[in-house]
Structure 1
Amino acid sequence: MLAGPTWGHWLTLRLIGDPAKRTPRDGVGSTVFRSAGGFRRRAEVASGRGDLSQSDQRIHFGLGTSNRIEKLEVLWSNGDRESLIPPTVDAFCLVGQGKGIRRAKTHSGLN
């Protein structure tokens, strides 16, 4: 019998590019790589995937049972590469180009 939903760990990022470095402020075209639980994954900030549509510009990684991130790296659309200090999991993070994680808001679970 199922006692209730089981939630996995996650991380959501919003990238803020630096127009002075020729990167769009919304981070479009930038790619984030994360390593957790022995797996490496990538996600790209995109805009408008499809006809008359707008994509969510946040990046969301599902981590499953992994309760920490080993490595987090951003390849900005202008070619700059930035390694970040991995935040705690189950968090919404704002990442500024060249400034690292500017703000993180944790969320311990859904009730």
Structure 2
Amino acid sequence: MELIVMLLLPLPLGYLVRSRVAAYLAYIGAHSFVFTFQTMTLTKAWVGGAYDAFAKDPNQPEWPYAVVNLAIYAAGLGLVALGAWLRDRRRARRSSDGIDLAAPGRA
């Protein structure tokens, strides 16, 4: 779930939301909801006897799960930044070509 959201949401957010802070906050909010839902689902499965996501021993640290989720989270934030960079680059190129961005429809 978390990976799907990371692939679909952050790049368009960075590109379409004008404020970079708002784009980051929107991604953080969406990721927080999905991460919480995913963790709850995996915990329910673990309590039910599935040991695919978590170890059987509850005292064993869950470093692999933490590292993978941190990498997905960081990649999503990077994609938000990439979307904002692409938007700024496109805008700079259009303004250097003589296109007035303040007056749409005029070239």
Shared fold (TM-score greater than 0.5)?
Answer: no
| More strand as a share of residues | 1
Question: Which gives a bigger RCO, structure 1 or 2 (Cα 8 Å, sep 6+)?
Answer: 2
| More helix as a share of residues | 2
